[in-house]
Structure 1
Amino acid sequence: MNASACGIRRPRIVVGISGASGAIYGVRLLKLLRELEVETHLVVSRSAQVTLSQEMRMQLADVKALADIHYPNTDIGATISSGSFRVDGMIVAPCSIKTLSEIATGCTSSLLSRAADVMLKERRRLVLMVRETPLHAGHIRSLAAVTEAGAIVYPPVPAFYAQPASLEQMVDHTLGRVLDLFDMDARTVRRWQGAVS
């Protein structure tokens, strides 16, 4: 008897890709979640479509093909806009300051920010891979506000102790650590073994 017949569902993660630089994080995250057999629900902002084209030469159709289900960012009535739709959490990779600010204030204007807001109100895990630097006081206030609301702010800062030999290894290590927050092991993290004496 399969898992669905027993009422057990696959792990389910909402993936948001906003317009910040770093589209590679969202694309690679979808690939890693597929390898882990996690059901993915994708929403991509309009700005992200531009970033995907500029940084990765990918069109929306290419990214949609990596997800189980895709929703237009204007579809406020999508399943992921309701707390009654059961998911294990959401990752916004990358997360722009605009998206962060909407989530921090609860003043959502798109499906991406609404779905994130749902994660907070339902006390589900929300990880925001915020991509902006330098930060001004308004950014920092938004980071604090969204953290106080229950989100995890995870800027994609490289871990040089892992001695990455390529951009791909650096991205994979960061995403592996993000997935650790969901108790998922992507086997892409070079775990710290202590300092060599």
Structure 2
Amino acid sequence: MKERIGKGVSYLGIILIVLAVSLCFYNVYDSIRANISSKSIMNDYMAHVSSGPQGFVPDYILNPDMDMPEVEVDGLSCIGVLEIPSLDIRLPVTSTFNYALMKQAPCRYYGSIYKNNMVIAAHDSWFHFGRIHTLKSGDSVKFTDASGNEFDYCVDAVDVVSPNSVDDVTSGKWPLTLFTCTLDAQNRVVVRCK
């Protein structure tokens, strides 16, 4: 009887190891797939966008309440490009948020870059926001809208908040906020930029 139980436990252990390895491979595959998708969207986005003329007052300064311009790319509406040089990140940002879109690219979760209250959410994959918890105060963050207007920021704070802290994330105290899940998906990493 002990021998049968021992064999059963051994088989169960082997099955669990195979499942764990399979989950690791799936997570790596999903991260690579997200990277390929983001690069494809970025290439198509850049083909549709050109930098604006120099020496004029941009519309968003005259009217900060205006809607952010959007560029349609393969059925996705993108509002700009987010760059984080210290993490070698350059990603398109979609105009709306949903979980399906986040598998492809970061999404505007709330606000507008023109109103100094934009919040961008992305998955915690390696090629998206999986490394933003390593950012340090003073690190550079850049957002370029679909009209070619550039907005330069630096990291002010990196916090971990509960998933119920939506009001804290969207408070508008910082002109740009980035967030993603922690690796255990129990909390949210929030990067505040000024």
Q: Give the helix-richer structure, 1 or 2.
A: 1
Does TM, scored on the shorter chain, surpass 0.5? no
Task: Determine which structure has more spread, i.e. the larger CA radius of gyration.
Answer: 2
TM-score normalized by structure 2? 0.26
